[in-house]
A and B are shown apart, each in its own frame.
Chain A
Amino acid sequence: MISRRGFLLLGVATAAEAQLPPNIQQIRKAAFDEAIRKVVGGAEVKEGKVKLDVPPLIDNGNAVPLAVEVESPMSAADHVKAVHIFTERNPQPNVLTAHLGPRAGKARVATRARIADTGTVMAIAQMSDGSFWSHSVRVIVTLSACLEEGLI
């Protein structure tokens, strides 16, 4: 029999680790992997070239500034075709897909996202030569997005 105090402490310990129950975490991880597979197909995703700028500690998950910068000459022969942003723990992993071209001059895209829970945020750049490059950042979220139920 678990005491009331023990139960509350258990709740606190779990909340510190993550705000979601473990089975949902697994489902969302699978959705995250699936969303990436849909973009890259069978191609290898290498680390590097991409810089994802996101604060490591997020007070409010409802509006998180994200910036992605990719090293590329952005010429007609060698440019970034698309930038994809994913989060691991949101109900849907996709955040933004930006299609660029040589006329962008510089491969830099910025936005504000909702992030549901502590986990990985990943940016993948699709190059004109068909290669994929990525950068993942682990972020800690104290106030989750998507949990503002009952406000309306």
Chain B
Amino acid sequence: MARVVVNVPAEAKRGEVIEIRTLAGHPMETGFRRTQLGELIPRDIIRTLICTYNGVEIFRAELHPAIAANPLISFTTVATESGTLEFRWTGDNGYSASHSATIKVV
């Protein structure tokens, strides 16, 4: 099971800009490294991160091999209404992870 950590404030004022931090446990193998025997280690990375807020996409990122292992991505959004934020990571070799967080907007 893929391990992910997401940091979303539990409560926010309406219209407030909140910062969302996401971290996914993943080696992000670049595909440029070799073993001691000189064999190329195949690429294994997370390709995309999509974040939706009550079903509407608010952020999408395309990741490349130059992202460090255990990719941390942080971004912002406006707290519009109470609801759930869904996060979905997809990558090479059928990697998929998801997480959801609830936010209360007052």
Which residues of A pack against B, CB within 8 Å? 62-64, 87, 90-92, 94-101, 103-106, 108-115, 145-146, 148-150, 152
Chain B: interface residue total (CB-CB under 8 A): 33
A150 B69 Cβ-Cβ under 8 A: no
**A96-B73, A110-B72, A114-B30 given. 17 additional CB < 8 A pairs?**
A87-B66, A91-B65, A92-B65, A95-B64, A96-B64, A96-B67, A99-B60, A103-B56, A103-B80, A104-B59, A104-B77, A108-B76, A111-B68, A111-B73, A112-B67, A145-B66, A150-B35
B59 A111 Cβ-Cβ under 8 A: no
Which residues of B pack against A, CB within 8 Å? 17-19, 30, 32-36, 41, 53, 56, 58-69, 71-78, 80
Which chain A positions have C-beta within 8 A of B72?
110-112
How many residue-residue contacts, CB under 8 A, span A and B?
105
Shortest B33–chain A CB gap in Å is: 6
Q: How far is the CA of A92 from the CA of B73 in the complex (A)?
A: 20
Q: How far is the CA of A115 from the CA of B72 in the complex (A)?
A: 15
28 contacts between A and B (CB under 8 A): A62-B68, A87-B66, A90-B66, A92-B66, A96-B73, A97-B62, A98-B59, A98-B62, A98-B75, A99-B61, A100-B75, A104-B58, A104-B59, A105-B78, A108-B19, A108-B76, A109-B73, A110-B74, A111-B72, A111-B74, A112-B67, A112-B68, A113-B66, A114-B65, A146-B33, A148-B33, A152-B35, A152-B36
B78 A103 Cβ-Cβ under 8 A: yes
